[in-house]
Amino acid sequence: MSRMMKIRVPATSANLGPGFDCMGLALDVWNELSFEPAVKLSYHVTGEGADKFNKGAKNLLTKAYSNLYEICGKALMGASIRARNEILVSSGLGSSAAAIVAGLFGANEMLGKPLTENDLLKIATEMEGHPDNVAPALLGGLVVSVMNKDEIITRRYEIPPLTLVIVKPDVEWLTKTARAVLPKSVSRADAVHNIGRAALVVDALCKGDLDLLQLVMEDRIHQTYRLRHISGGMAAYKCAKKHGAAALSGAGPSIIVFTQPSQAQYAMADIQSVFGERGIKTKGIITCPNNKGVHRI
């Protein structure tokens, strides 16, 4: 391929309350990338994460890009990869998943699409460790995924244009820590609490039923354990619940809330003020679900 190729990959919010490690939603927040054949492989970022990645920090995108060439048994072709990033890094909005999916999808397109979408999903899941962010980044919409031995079973649902507020506090919070603070086992009562609610979250999102979503987005197996360790997290989550159906986005630290469009600005300011009172800076975004995964533009 001799010409420049451009793609977009979306942010994703995993878990959605009770759907821990199984559910994720693609959002209308995008990283845009161009791939141009070059002598060596290079990566340059503008926007979110630019400082980190342009200093030469290891990045999942070029790792995924190189992996795909290796898996396909092809010699790595150089490429100048340039990214314009909107997805906040270390935020619980799937920036790692977006990098993995963009690298794999970009390499697959450069090679003339030797691998299927399902192949890409399997490789992305192996790289990320679980499918809940990579699946919606690849497929768009709401995706429910389960691992069945080596297979990943997914179902994808189109979601109506709901309004979503995201508030990301400027706190140090690594996914590794977010997983380490979880209990090794959960009680039957907590499992039952989550199973029924997770199923109803899917129904509520598909129908755009905010009232039902607000009732069933409650989780008992990961959020509380994590919110306790995120400065201002518990208070911000409680505040978000006053405005609609709230959750910790992925492993956090961002809080998301599905709310009425007319209430979105106020909800965002209110949640930001909870962190602000504790001296914690925030970034706020008002967005909506999107039904498109990674694609060429």
By CB under 6 A, name the binding residues for ligand HSE. Answer: 14-15, 20-21, 130, 132-133, 175, 178-179, 222, 250-251
Q: Which is nearer to ligand HSE, 35 or 85 (CB)?
A: 85
Exposed/middle/buried for residue 276 (C-beta within 10 Å: 0-12, 13-18, 19+): middle
Closest approach, Cβ 246 to ligand HSE, in A, equals 16
Cα separation, 122 vs 282, whole angstroms = 34
Total residue count of the chain as it appears in this document: 297
Residue 252 CB, nearest approach to ligand HSE (Å): 8
Phi, psi values for residue 86, rounded to 5° = -105, -20
Question: Judged by CB, which is closer to ligand HSE: 69, or 225?
Answer: 225
- Compute the distance between CA of residue 218 and CA of residue 201 in angstroms, rounded to an integer: 10
> What is the closest distance, in whole angstroms, from the C-beta atom of residue 217 to ligand HSE in the complex?
14
Nearer to ligand HSE, 130 or 197 (CB): 130
Answer yes or no: are the C-beta atoms of 16 and 247 closer than 8 Å. yes
- Shortest distance in whole angstroms from residue 22 CB to ligand HSE: 8
Q: Which is nearer to ligand HSE, 31 or 133 (CB)?
A: 133
Q: What angle do CA 18, 157, 206 make, to 5 degrees?
A: 70
Q: Which amino acid is at 295?
A: H
Q: Which is nearer to ligand HSE, 178 or 236 (CB)?
A: 178
Residue 39 phi, psi dihedral angles, 5° rounding: -70, -45
Handedness of CA 51, 54, 58, 61 (dihedral sign): positive
**Closest approach of Cβ 142 to ligand HSE, in Å?**
14
Residue 38 beta carbon to ligand HSE: minimum distance, rounded to whole angstroms:
32
Nearer to ligand HSE, 130 or 156 (CB): 130
What 3-state DSSP class applies to 198? helix
